[in-house]
Amino acid sequence: MNRSSPIATDLVLSPFGASATELVEAAKCADESGFDGIWVLDHFSGKLVGKGWSHEPFTVLGAIANSTKKVSVGPLVANMINRNPVLLASSFSSLQSLAAGRAVLGLGTGAPPGSKFALEQEMIGRRLEEKGVSRRERLIETINALRSIWNGDTNFEGKHFSYEDLESVIMPNKPLRIIVGANGRKMIELASNHADGVNIRVGPSIKELIHLATELAPSADFEISIHEDFDYSHPFGGDFEKWVQMGVTKRACMVNAPFDMEAISAIGARIVEATS
């Protein structure tokens, strides 16, 4: 945004039980109200949270990109288990074209076996890696494959993916900025070595994890953001001052349908005033 701010505030739109139109309208409201970015969760089944449906994020994000002017847009986070890197590259390139460079790729390992969100992979018979180290290795390879495609390489050979004589997948001269979703030390270490930023889910160890991310940040441009629920009852949607003090550069606040447009607009305006 065209303002000086100690911390940016994004909205994370939950697609569960919302219409596509509602998601786009919430994004437009946030864009007009002064929020910095819009993310959409990557889940294809509303059953995970007892809702009747979900939405494919890149489709919705394309509509959002075409309907907004200032906010960054992206998935938080794209599930590497469900997406071949070449198809992911094509999806993100299309979004980046619609967003005129405003798109950011949030990327994650997917849910571990036995967890609540692993239900989606069980539905489609997708094998999940039992060991965290295996999931992290696959994520690194996914990032490397994406970077390779963006660099114009025609061949890539990895343990999980490979391509040969690959050409003409992405539009040229479009940026690829990758933010890794994390909830522990190992993922923060991975992000600092392979990505452009890290988004840390708020939990009991959040202070220690932010400190680690700050220590490992490879450059001043490395983005350190947190993922928390949007608090409609708070004047600023949550206490951002504590995150500023911890070294966070962005907070990503999740909202669920039905979206309170009036409250989003009012809170956005207060955030802009307070951080100008």
What is the chain's Cα-based Rg? 18
Give the count of beta carbons closer than 10 Å to the beta carbon of residue 244.
15
Q: 100: left (phi > 0), else alpha (psi -120 to 50), else beta?
A: left
Give the count of beta carbons closer than 10 Å to the beta carbon of residue 1.
16
- 126 within 8 A of 81, measured Cβ to Cβ: yes
Token pair for 180: 């890794």
Q: What integer pLDDT is reported at residue 5 of this predicted model?
A: 54
Q: Structural domains in the chain?
A: 8-275 (3.20.20.30)
* Alpha-carbon gap, residue 54 to 45, rounded angstroms: 5
DSSP helix/strand/coil, 223:
strand
Q: What integer pLDDT is reported at residue 171 of this predicted model?
A: 95
Single-letter code of the amino acid located at 69: K
Per-residue pLDDT of the chain (276 residues; tens, 9 = 90+): 333 457 999 999 999 999 999 999 999 999 999 999 999 999 999 999 999 999 999 999 999 999 999 999 999 999 999 999 999 999 999 999 999 999 999 999 988 888 888 889 889 988 777 778 999 999 999 999 999 999 999 999 999 999 999 999 999 999 999 999 999 999 999 999 999 999 999 999 999 999 999 999 999 999 999 999 999 999 999 998 899 999 999 999 999 999 999 999 999 999 999 887
- 7 within 8 A of 253, measured Cβ to Cβ: no
- 121 within 8 A of 128, measured Cβ to Cβ: yes
Helices 261-275 and 20-33, axial angle in degrees (round to 10): 30
* Alpha-carbon gap, residue 270 to 252, rounded angstroms: 17
Cross-strand partners of 250:
8, 225
- 193 within 8 A of 186, measured Cβ to Cβ: no
Positions of E strands within the chain: 8-13, 37-40, 72-75, 78-79, 105-108, 156-157, 162-163, 178-182, 197-201, 223-229, 250-255
Q: What integer pLDDT is reported at residue 259 of this predicted model?
A: 97
pTM of the model: 0.95
Strands 197-201 and 72-75 come out as unpaired
DSSP helix/strand/coil, 55:
strand
